Amino acid sequence: MIEEYDEERLSDEDIKAAVRHWLSSITWTKRIDAGLNELSPGTLRSLQDRLPDILLDAGKDETVSSEHNLIEEAWSALEYSDYSGWGKGETLTRTVTVMQRTLKEYVDKRVQEVFEPDTQVAVSIHDTPPHSAPANMSKISTFIQKWQNDIKVGFRGGKGLEPETTDQYHQTVELFIGLMGNLPVGKISYDLAADFREKLLGLPATHGKGRTGSIKCLTSAPVGQI
C-alpha cells in the first residue's frame, strides 16, 4: 500500500525514462536475459502471460510479498535514475504502473521476435523512410557555359560534338529557358520536356522546329553536366 502525499508531479516522460534506465542496469539485464531472452520457444509460450510477474519476483526475498516487491522495484527505478525523494505518493503509484507495462512490452516484443520474425522485418522496412537524393536547385542558366564546354570536348571519355551541333544544343537550352523559365535543374522532368516539345512544335520554323531532338539533353544528361 502506497501512502498519499501532496507533491509536485513528476512527468510521465521522466517516469518512463527512469524505468527504462533501471531495467537496463546490470541487475535487470542479467535477469531479463536469463528469465526471458534465453527461454526456449515452448517455455516462452507457456509462461507468456505470467512472465512480467515472474521477472519481478525473480529478485525478491521469500519473506517479501509480490506487491511490496513491485513497490520497491518502482522506488529503486526512481532512486537509480537520480530522482531521489520522488519515490512516494502519486509518483510512486504511476511508476509502479509504468514498470508493469514496460515489462509486458519487453515480453511481447520477445514473443514477436521468436514467433513472428517476418513481421518484425516487415515493420522495420515499412517504418524506415526511403532516403532520396535532394533535388538540384541550381538554375539551368548557371550550367550553360560549363555544359557547352563539356560537350565540345566530350565528357566521361565520350567523343566531342561538332561546333554546329553544340551550337544547336545551346540554342535549344536558351529556347527552353525562354518558353519554360529559368528553372532549377532538379525540377526538369520528362513531362516538362514533353510540354516544351509541344510548345516548340507550335512555333514558326525560324524558331528552331528542326532541333526538337536536342531536348533529350535536358532530361538525360547528368546533373553535373547541365
- Check residue 182 and give its pLDDT: 83
Instruction: Say which amino acid occupies 166.
Output: T
- Check residue 197 and give its pLDDT: 77
pLDDT band at residue 154 using 50, 70 and 90 as cut-offs: low
Looking at per-residue pLDDT, the higher value among 169 and 56 belongs to: 56
Average pLDDT, the chain: 79
Please list the alpha-helical segments (H only) found in 157-204. Answer: 163-180, 190-201
Q: Describe the crossing of helices 163-180 and 144-153 by its angle, rounded to 10 degrees.
A: 150
User: Which of 60-69, 99-108, 212-221 ranks highest by mean pLDDT?
Assistant: 99-108
User: Which of 21-30, 160-169, 190-199, 213-222 ranks highest by mean pLDDT?
Assistant: 21-30
Of 47-51, 106-110, 193-197, the one with minimum mean pLDDT is 193-197
Is residue 119 over pLDDT 90?
no
CA distances (Å), origin 18, targets 22, 25, 43, 187, 209: 6, 11, 30, 48, 72
- Check residue 220 and give its pLDDT: 47
Residue 8 φ/ψ region, left for φ over 0, alpha for ψ in the -120 to 50 degree band, beta for the rest: beta
Q: Describe the crossing of helices 89-115 and 117-127 by its angle, rounded to 10 degrees.
A: 110
Mean pLDDT value across residues 45-65: 93
**Selection from 179, 168, 195, 198 nearest residue 140 by Cα:** 179
- Check residue 225 and give its pLDDT: 45
Is residue 204 over pLDDT 50?
yes
Here the cell at position 180 is 519554360
Q: How far apart are CA 36 and CA 39, in angstroms?
A: 5
Residue 55 CB-density burial (10 A; 0-12 exposed, 13-18 middle, 19+ buried): buried
Roughly how many angstroms between the first and final C-alpha of the chain, as a whole number? 74
Is residue 125 over pLDDT 60?
no
pLDDT band at residue 60 using 50, 70 and 90 as cut-offs: confident
Q: How far apart are CA 30 and CA 60, in angstroms?
A: 15
